[in-house]
Structure formats: C-alpha cells, structure tokens
C-alpha cells in the first residue's frame, strides 16, 4: 500500500479514471448500438413494402410462391445482412431465407408489427428475432394484401424483414473484436493517460506545498527553523493549504513566544529564589544572633540591654513576617489565585479612608498628608480591596522616602474614560536609570538605611494588581524641585 499522500492520490486518480473509462465505454457502446438500430430502421423502413411491390409477390390477390423463393435468393445475395420471413396473419412463420437449422421460433409477436404499420411508436422499434427465444431486433414489415371480411380488412400475411441478421451479427462481432475494440482501447488509454498525467501534475503542485509545510514543521520540532515567525503576514490568496500553512506559522510564532516567556519566567524564578534566600537570611540571622546573645549573656546583661536585644529581635521578626506576607501575596497574584471582582465604587471615599489609616504613621515620621480630590468624581470600576492594597503600598512607599517635615499630596483627576490617582512626595526622587526597574520585584534603589526595612515587593504587587484590573501605574520625578510622583489609573464605570 502506498504511504505518501501523493502516491495515495495518484492511485485513487488511476482507479477513478479506469472506472470512468469503463462506464464511459459501456454507455458509448449502448448509445452507439441504439443509434445504429434507429438509423438502420429509419433507412430501411419501406424495405419490406418495396420487396413486395418490386418483385410482384402478389398476383391476383394471391402470394406467388416462386417469386418469393427467387426474392429470398436474390436479396440474400445482394444484402446478406438481412433475413426475410413470411408470416401468416397470426404471426406464424411460413417461410424464411435464413438457415433452417438456426430458426428457434415458430411465430413472432404481432404487437410490434402492428405498431410499426401504424407508425405510432418512435424508432428503434424492436421485434422478435426468430433465431432466438428472447432477443429482439430492428425490422421492416409490410402486410400482404388479403381480403375484406365483415370483421374488417384481413391481410393474407406479412413480409417480415430482420434488418440485422446472422451474417450482420457475425461481421459486427469480428469488427468489434478487432478494429472497434482496438481503436476504443487506444482512445480510452490515451484519454486515461492524459488525465492521469494532468492529475499527477496537479497533485504534485498541491502536495508540494504540503511537503514544504511538513519540512517547516520538522525543522521547528528540531529547533532549526530559520524563518522569522514573529511577524507573519496573512496570505493574499487563501485556500485550504495556505490557510493551514498560515495557521502553523501563527502557532509556531505563538509557541516561540511562550517558550521565551517560560525561559524569562524561569530565569525570574531563579532570581527570585536567590533574592528571597538572601533577603530572608538577613533578618533571620539577626533574629537568631540576638536571641543567642540573650541566652548566652543573660546573666551579664543589664535590664536595659536585654530590653534592647528583645526590641531588635522583635523588629527583625516583624520584618521577616512582612517579607513573607508580601512574598506570598505576590506569588498568589502571579498564580492568578486571587482574581479581581470589579464593581463600581466611589474612589474619593476609598482614598480618604486609606489616607486616614496612614496618617498616624506619617505624623510619627514628621510627614504631613494632604488631600486634593476632584469634586464630582465619577464612579470608578475595579476591585475595591485590590485598589485599597495599591493605595496602601504607594502611601507606605511615599512615607518611607519622604524626609521629616516633608509633605505627601494625594490628588485625583478625571479624563474621558478613566480616573487618575497621583501620590506626590517631597523626597529625593528616583534616579533616572532606576525608573525602568522601579516596579520589578525586590528592586531597592534607596539608601542602605531604607533598604533594610522592606523586601522591594510593594510596588511589584501594586503593578500586578493594576495589570489584573486593566488599569495602569507609572512613576516619574517631579518636574520642578525634588520628589517623585506615583500614579495609577482605573476605568470609569459606564452604566
């Protein structure tokens, strides 16, 4: 059995063409035979009548037997393809010109004879063949004048001429088995050969594109594909093969993108693991060191020193807890375990609550919080809890980076389809080369004193939350003076 698509198509085409050729040959032979019968009967329609009239077979109302025998002999010599039969008015065969040993019928049906004489039915009109029990052939017939009776005109008999007799059948068989079949065979073979050749060329052109697509698939599987699949242009003329090729190219581009994303995520995961190990080791080591000191020097330490050691250990424990909580929160957001539940809400009220929640901490750091909310702010559309988490992270970040006697201003502005919340501090600002990394996990671009207070995950969590809410977040330095501006946008609620 063929294995390739091209071989299967070629075999299928060959079988189809042979079947079509056989059916075509059978139909052609049948139509040709019917046509020849009709033509022969049409041409020789008056043959029987002319024989009776020309040969004076009827004299004084009676059939001339001698003239009939001479007619049989003469016409069999002139036209051996016909056979002449004399029938009585009941259809029984009285005399004939054929070989007596081959006559198998004693009578023929009168129904086609009467139909022929009435000329009502279309040609070819077939009658019984006396040389066969079931075969029928085209014929010509005429009645032999008889007499008129009270029941009507009654012919003396019929002259029944079979137009394709025994010698015609023999000659036709010889011709058909030699010339006709040979020519038909050559014609069919030439037609099949041409059709097969044309089909093979078409199949080669069609399967050629499939072969090229298969090669690209194999090359992609081996990672040796050279074509840039990132920007795949759709084909101008689309058929099934082109559509399949285009779909593969798009799929390959998507797979390559996903592979690159997986590689980047794997590299990020490795970097995060290393960073987490480092960041967790520092407070853990500090906590363990102070606790061991308390245990070893418990008898030699004063009450104030023990209180200081415990205070430092507690601070390191709290730092470690915050880092773990932020790490788990970021991991949950990255794994999409926490999905936003957006709803319309009043953003100014949420901002006011968040500011009041951080006001005590800001005052303890000597930082003043100012609110400047746009009046008649439309309802925002987002997750209230997640938006509050973003506000908490940004306010906490601003308080950490604003020096004593500094200010933090929280403002809102509304555009056509979004509302923007901006938090501006009077801190030292952000170095220009660090702006692009400010929202990366574990990024800490501040001083060593500040860097020990957090793990650098707050802004990364805020960025992830805004991405999940179809919002945006950005950071920039204040154009005039020192300080930085953190802004985030939420879509407006549309009724």
Entry pTM: 0.46
- Residue 72 CB neighbours (<10 A): 19
The reply to whether 151 and 61 lie within a common domain is yes
Instruction: Return the pLDDT at 451.
Output: 47
The pLDDT of 40-51, averaged and rounded, is 81
* Length reported for the chain: 495
Q: 210: which residues sit within 8 A by CB, 6+ positions away?
A: 5, 241
Say yes or no to pLDDT of 486 above 90.
Answer: yes
Task: State the CATH number of the domain containing residue 285.
Answer: 1.10.287.130
Helix axes 303-334, 458-468, angle to 10 degrees: 20
Lowest mean pLDDT among 64-78, 92-106, 174-188, 202-216: 174-188
Instruction: Return the pLDDT at 411.
Output: 92
CA proximity to 426, closest of 386, 485, 383, 491: 485
In a domain, residue 234? The reply is: no
Instruction: Return the pLDDT at 237.
Output: 56
Q: Which residue has the tokens 């005109």?
A: 153
- Residue 231 CB neighbours (<10 A): 7
C-beta separation of 340 from 382 below 8 A: yes
The reply to whether 109 and 32 lie within a common domain is yes
Which comes out higher in pLDDT, residue 111 or 57? 111
Which comes out higher in pLDDT, residue 280 or 95? 95
Instruction: Return the pLDDT at 22.
Output: 78
The pLDDT of 397-404, averaged and rounded, is 89
Distance CA 318, CA 315 (A): 5
Say yes or no to pLDDT of 64 above 70.
Answer: no
In a domain, residue 374? The reply is: yes
Final residue of a structural domain among 332, 352, 368: 332
Final residue of a structural domain among 311, 332, 353: 332
Q: What is the pLDDT of residues 307-341, one digit of tens each?
A: 888 888 888 787 777 777 777 777 776 666 678 88
Q: What is the pLDDT of residues 218-242, one digit of tens each?
A: 777 666 544 554 455 665 555 666 6
Task: State the CATH number of the domain containing residue 118.
Answer: 3.30.450
In a domain, residue 207? The reply is: no
C-beta separation of 464 from 334 below 8 A: yes
Instruction: Return the pLDDT at 327.
Output: 72
Final residue of a structural domain among 173, 189, 211: 173
Q: Tell me what percent of the residues of the chain surpass a pLDDT of 70.
A: 77
Distance CA 355, CA 71 (A): 133
Lowest mean pLDDT among 84-88, 288-292, 327-331: 327-331
C-beta separation of 203 from 2 below 8 A: no
Say yes or no to pLDDT of 41 above 90.
Answer: no
Which comes out higher in pLDDT, residue 431 or 68? 431
At 190, the pLDDT band (50, 70, 90 cuts) reads confident
Say yes or no to pLDDT of 395 above 90.
Answer: yes
Q: What is the largest CA-CA distance in the chain?
A: 170
In a domain, residue 196? The reply is: no
Strands 380-382, 136-144: pairing is: unpaired
Distance CA 59, CA 123 (A): 32
The reply to whether 311 and 458 lie within a common domain is no
Say yes or no to pLDDT of 447 above 50.
Answer: no
At 449, the pLDDT band (50, 70, 90 cuts) reads very low
Lowest mean pLDDT among 140-149, 202-211, 355-364: 202-211
The 3-class secondary structure across the chain, one letter per residue, is CCCCHHHHHHHHHHHHHHHHHHHHHHHHHHHHHHHHHHHHHHHCCCHHHHHHHHCCCEECCEECHHHHHHHHHHHHHHCCCCEEEEEECCCEEEEECCCHHHCCCCECCCHHHHHHHHCCCCCCCEEECCCCCCCEEEEEEEEECCEEECCEEECCEEEEEECCCHHHHHHHHHHHHHHHHHHHHHHHHHHHHHHHHHHHHHHHHHHHHHHHHHHHHHHHHCCCCCCCCCCCCCCCCCCHHHHHHHHHHHHHHHHHHHHHHHHHHHHHHHHHHHHHHHHHHHHHHHHHHHHHHHHHCCCCCCHHHHHHHHHHHHHHHHHHHHHHHHHHHHHHHHCCCCCCCCEEECHHHHHHHHHHHHHHHHHHCCCEEEEECCCCCCCEEECHHHHHHHHHHHHHHHHHHCCCCCEEEEEEEECCCEEEEEEEECCCCCCHHHHHHCCCCCCCCCCHHHHCCCCCCHHHHHHHHHHHCCCEEEEEECCCCCCEEEEEEEEECCC
Mean of pLDDT over the chain: 78
In a domain, residue 227? The reply is: no
In a domain, residue 288? The reply is: yes
Which comes out higher in pLDDT, residue 447 or 193? 193
The reply to whether 9 and 155 lie within a common domain is yes
In a domain, residue 202? The reply is: no
The reply to whether 356 and 324 lie within a common domain is no
The reply to whether 153 and 282 lie within a common domain is no
Which comes out higher in pLDDT, residue 258 or 424? 424
The reply to whether 368 and 321 lie within a common domain is no
C-beta separation of 374 from 412 below 8 A: yes
The reply to whether 119 and 99 lie within a common domain is yes
The reply to whether 67 and 121 lie within a common domain is yes
The pLDDT of 201-226, averaged and rounded, is 70
Which comes out higher in pLDDT, residue 129 or 244? 129
Q: Tell me what percent of the residues of the chain surpass a pLDDT of 90.
A: 14
Torsion of CA 121, 126, 128, 134, to 10 degrees: -120
Instruction: Return the pLDDT at 441.
Output: 73
Torsion of CA 429, 432, 435, 441, to 10 degrees: -90
The pLDDT of 33-52, averaged and rounded, is 80
At 256, the pLDDT band (50, 70, 90 cuts) reads confident
Q: From the CA atom positions of the chain, what is the Rg in Å?
A: 54
Domain total for the chain? Answer: 3
- Residue 235 CB neighbours (<10 A): 13
Instruction: Return the pLDDT at 417.
Output: 86
Tell me which residue range forms the domain holding 358.
341-491
Say yes or no to pLDDT of 448 above 50.
Answer: no
The pLDDT of 263-267, averaged and rounded, is 78
The reply to whether 403 and 443 lie within a common domain is yes
In a domain, residue 215? The reply is: no
Name the phi and psi angles at 305, rounded to 5: -65, -40
The pLDDT of 69-85, averaged and rounded, is 76
* Cα separation values, 244 from 112, 159, 163, Å: 65, 75, 64
Q: Which residue has the tokens 């009939």?
A: 68
Strands 368-372, 407-414: pairing is: parallel
The reply to whether 354 and 460 lie within a common domain is yes
Instruction: Return the pLDDT at 246.
Output: 75
The pLDDT of 389-404, averaged and rounded, is 90
The reply to whether 23 and 152 lie within a common domain is yes
At 81, the pLDDT band (50, 70, 90 cuts) reads confident
Instruction: Return the pLDDT at 84.
Output: 85
Torsion of CA 334, 402, 361, 486, to 10 degrees: -40
């Amino acid at each position: 059995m063929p294995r390739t698509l091209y071989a299967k198509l070629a075999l299928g085409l060959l079988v189809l063409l042979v079947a079509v050729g056989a059916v075509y040959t059978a139909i052609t032979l049948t139509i040709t035979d019917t046509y020849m019968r009709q033509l022969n009967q049409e041409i020789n329609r008056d043959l029987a009548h002319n024989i009776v009239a020309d040969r004076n077979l009827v004299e004084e109302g009676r059939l001339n037997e001698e003239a009939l025998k001479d007619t049989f002999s003469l016409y069999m010599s002139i036209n051996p393809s016909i056979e002449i039969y004399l029938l009585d008015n009941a259809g029984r065969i009285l005399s004939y010109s054929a070989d007596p040993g081959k006559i198998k019928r004693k009578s023929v049906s009168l129904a086609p004879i009467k139909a022929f004489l009435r000329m009502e039915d279309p040609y070819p009109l077939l009658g019984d063949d006396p040389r066969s029990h079931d075969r029928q052939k085209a014929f010509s017939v005429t009645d032999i004048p008889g007499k008129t009776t009270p029941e009507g005109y009654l012919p003396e008999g019929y002259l029944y001429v079979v137009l394709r007799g025994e010698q015609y059948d023999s000659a036709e068989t010889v011709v058909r088995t030699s010339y006709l079949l040979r020519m038909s065979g050559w014609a069919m073979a030439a037609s099949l050969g041409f059709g097969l050749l044309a089909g093979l060329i078409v199949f080669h052109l069609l399967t050629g594109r499939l072969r090229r697509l298969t090669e690209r698939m194999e090359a992609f599987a081996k990672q040796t594909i050279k074509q840039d699949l990132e920007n795949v242009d759709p084909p101008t003329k689309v058929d099934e093969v082109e559509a399949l090729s285009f779909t593969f190219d798009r799929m390959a581009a998507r797979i390559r993108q996903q592979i690159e994303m997986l590689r980047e995520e794997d590299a990020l995961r490795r970097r995060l693991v290393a960073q987490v190990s480092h960041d967790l080791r520092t407070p853990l080591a500090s906590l363990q060191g102070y606790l061991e000191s308390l245990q070893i020097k418990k008898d030699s330490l004063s009450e104030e020193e023990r209180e200081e050691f415990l205070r430092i250990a507690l601070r390191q424990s709290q730092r470690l807890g915050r880092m773990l909580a932020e790490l788990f929160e970021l991991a949950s957001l990255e794994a999409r375990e926490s999905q936003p539940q957006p709803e319309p809400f009043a953003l100014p009220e949420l901002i006011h609550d968040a500011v009041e929640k951080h006001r005590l901490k800001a005052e303890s750091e000597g930082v003043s919080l100012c609110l400047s909310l746009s009046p008649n702010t439309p309802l925002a559309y987002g997750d209230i809890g997640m938006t509050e988490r973003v506000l908490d992270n940004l306010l906490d970040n601003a308080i950490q980076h604003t020096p004593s006697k500094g200010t933090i201003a929280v403002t809102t502005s509304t555009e056509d389809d979004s509302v923007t919340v901006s938090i501006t501090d009077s801190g030292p600002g952000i170095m220009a080369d660090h702006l692009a990394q400010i929202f990366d996990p574990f990024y800490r671009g501040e001083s060593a004193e500040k860097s020990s207070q957090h793990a650098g995950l707050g802004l990364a969590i805020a960025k992830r939350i805004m991405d999940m809410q179809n919002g945006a977040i950005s950071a920039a330095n204040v154009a005039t003076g020192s300080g930085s501006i953190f802004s985030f946008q939420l879509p407006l609620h549309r009724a």
